[in-house]
Amino acid sequence: MNQPLENKRALVTGGSRGIGAAIVKRLAREGAHVALTYVGRSDQANETAKAAQAFGVPAIAIQADSADAKAVIAAVEQTVAELGGIDILVNNAGIAVMAPIDDYRLEDFDRALAINLRAVFVATQTAVKHMKTGGRIIMIGSCNAERVPFVGGAVYAMSKAALVGLVKGLARDLGPRGITVNNVQPGPTDTDMNPANSEFAEMLRTRVMALPRYASADEIAAMVAYLAGPEAGFVTGASLTIDGGFTA
């Protein structure tokens, strides 16, 4: 079995379910030793870790709320201690609180920025202290950074658009050290948080998408695995969109 990530050490934040869980399992399938963070569902996190272990690699679940900067730092340090280092960081944890501007609560605004942006910065800053040449930093952004065809998505879109600038700047900072930094921008993806059989999904499929379907989480994970692997060594500072034509 081809394992391009054999013995690489990876941390996936928010990796217990949905796109994050698919990324954890794909990296493990390709030979990476994987840590994942979760907030509240230890059973779900442990189930994902066990699924990764089934590929014959170490996998651990670490409880850490990405809204807590100290918890994010501790999760990176625990990954380094238990896996023996870190080669790949996937900043996947994120939240989407949707509301029109008149109704948007300041506490939701602050939490969105804490999880979608500050945690990304903190995890990256901590991880690169341990990374060597060939390291990979991968953000999970959103196609909403480029298009918001519905009401209530302004703050979410802002937080994901900010990742584009962060990635470009970090690519310059870390390029001389041989570390790449990239951003994956998924479109509508079938998860428990955004199911493909909802009325909202039907609206997107019929009015917005070029391909009239949702992505599977595995399709997003495949792009992440590419960026984490040796064939993407010359890709950095990029935002790669996988959205079924959402932004076309």
Strand partners, 138: 90, 182
* Alpha-carbon gap, residue 153 to 200, rounded angstroms: 13
Please give the pLDDT value at position 1: 64
**Does the residue 55 lie in any domain?**
yes
Question: Range of 160's domain?
Answer: 9-241
**Does the residue 4 lie in any domain?**
no
Please give the pLDDT value at position 84: 98
* Alpha-carbon gap, residue 1 to 176, rounded angstroms: 33
Whether 166 contacts 139, CB under 8 Å: yes
**Does the residue 56 lie in any domain?**
yes
The predicted-structure confidence for 61-94, as pLDDT tens digits, reads as follows 999 999 999 999 999 999 999 999 999 999 999 9
**Does the residue 2 lie in any domain?**
no
**Does the residue 71 lie in any domain?**
yes
Q: What is the CATH classification number for the domain harbouring 64?
A: 3.40.50.720
**Does the residue 248 lie in any domain?**
no
Q: Could you confirm whether 104 is annotated as catalytic?
A: no
As for how many domains the chain has, the answer is: 1
**Does the residue 38 lie in any domain?**
yes
**Does the residue 82 lie in any domain?**
yes
First CA to last CA across the chain, in angstroms? 37
* Alpha-carbon gap, residue 214 to 195, rounded angstroms: 9
Q: What 3-state class would DSSP assign to 59? A: strand
The residue annotated as part of the active site, out of 38, 104, 156, 226, is: 156
Q: What 3-state class would DSSP assign to 223? A: helix
Whether 145 contacts 239, CB under 8 Å: yes
Each residue's pLDDT expressed in tens, for the chain with a length of 248 residues: 689 999 999 999 999 999 999 999 999 999 999 999 999 899 999 999 999 999 999 999 999 999 999 999 999 999 999 999 999 999 999 999 999 999 999 999 999 999 999 999 999 999 999 999 999 999 999 999 999 999 999 999 999 999 999 999 999 999 999 999 999 999 999 998 889 999 999 999 999 999 999 999 999 999 999 999 999 999 999 999 999 999 99
Q: What is the DSSP letter of 214?
A: P
Q: Half-sphere exposure of residue 192, counting CA atoms within 13 Å on the CB side? A: 7
DSSP 152-206: T-HHHHHHHHHHHHHHHHHHHHHGGGT-EEEEEEE-SB-SSSS-TTSHHHHHHHH
Instruction: Look at strands 59-63 and 239-242 and give their pairing.
Output: unpaired
